[in-house]
Amino acid sequence: MRSSRVALGALAALSLAATALPAAAETHIEIQGGRSYMDSHPTDAFFIESVFAARPIGASRFTWSPDVSIGYINGRNVGRYENSHPGVNNNVWVGAAGARLHYGTDGDWYHPFFFSFQVAGTAGGRTQALSSAYEFVSTLGWQWKNLSFQVRHISNGSFQEPNRGETMALIGVGFDI
């Protein structure tokens, strides 16, 4: 199914708004790709993510960074879901915003590990995995300079069924602006 022009326009506006956030200094932009799984059925997934300057959380060793992303998850052809509503063959766009958390300082060996949580909206169609217009995104990963590895899960938290969710392994290449 093709994405509507309105949905694509909204995602483009979100990405432009993300680049207009204050002070682009210390902004990390990353292009990520990998495989996403719904049950045991794989497909391709791609994301563009912007992580902004880190801010301390009180007097703790934790920091948080605003985090926005736009992603695309390709549809699948799975015979078992051919007559289901929703099916699994729709391509889905995901726009998300939230925070990325780190622990420690730049010199600590564990500082490259991170956890992020985002609230997301979807466009382009519904699937067995992403069945609502809103979703939650949790990511556990490792980022070192221009390279990242991460495991991401997107789901609506069982607020609407079906709720199979998408779980993906992504590799990212990024740069600082």
The one-character DSSP state at 78 is: -
Looking at residue 1, what is its pLDDT?
Answer: 45
Using only the alpha carbons of the chain, give its radius of gyration: 17
pLDDT of residue 8: 53
Distances, alpha carbon 163 to alpha carbons 34, 39, 127, 158, in Å: 21, 11, 9, 6
Tell me what pLDDT residue 6 has. 52
The pTM is what? 0.84
Averages of pLDDT over each 10 residues, the chain, 177 residues: 52 52 73 96 97 96 97 92 87 97 95 97 91 95 95 93 94 96
Residue-range domains of the chain with CATH? 5-21+36-176 (2.40.160)
Contact assessment for residue 166 and residue 27, using Cβ atoms and an 8 Å cutoff: no
- Cα–Cα distance for residue pair 66/5, rounded to 1 Å: 28
Residue 162: cis peptide before it, omega within 30 degrees of 0: yes
Q: State the pLDDT at residue 11.
A: 53
